[in-house]
Amino acid sequence: MLAKTGLSPEDFKVMNEATRQIDEATDKRPGMTVDWQNPASGANGTVQLTGVEGTCMKLTHLARLAGQQKDIGFRSLRCRTEDGKWQLQDLSDVMF
């Protein structure tokens, strides 16, 4: 599913670092947004916290490839495990 986005593994790594900033925030609140950019590929985007339910958070990821006019977007659900780590539970609604 995500392979069709055109984002490189490095783009996903940079996007995941932005997601980790939300993971580690002590004051998680809907609307919290972290921007990311991969200088090597020119891809950039945002990760936005759209909801918190118990030990889970819903995120919207938007990305734009270098030279493109249209964003790529998808939603994810991440939940905190018993050992305190955040784990991806679901990916959905990939939009091209």
Higher pLDDT among residues 15 and 68, named by residue:
15
CA 10 vs. chain centroid, Å, equals 13
Q: pLDDT at residue 96 above 80?
A: no
What is d(CA 64, CA 18) in angstroms, rounded to the nearest whole number? 15
pLDDT category, 12, cuts 50, 70, 90? very high
Q: What is the mean pLDDT of residues 72-88?
A: 92
3-state per-residue secondary structure call for 47-59: EEEEEEECCEEEE
- Element spanning 10, H or E: helix 9-24
Structure confidence by residue, pLDDT tens digits, 28-77: 899 999 999 999 999 999 999 999 999 999 999 999 999 888 888 999 99
What pLDDT shows up at residue 17? 95
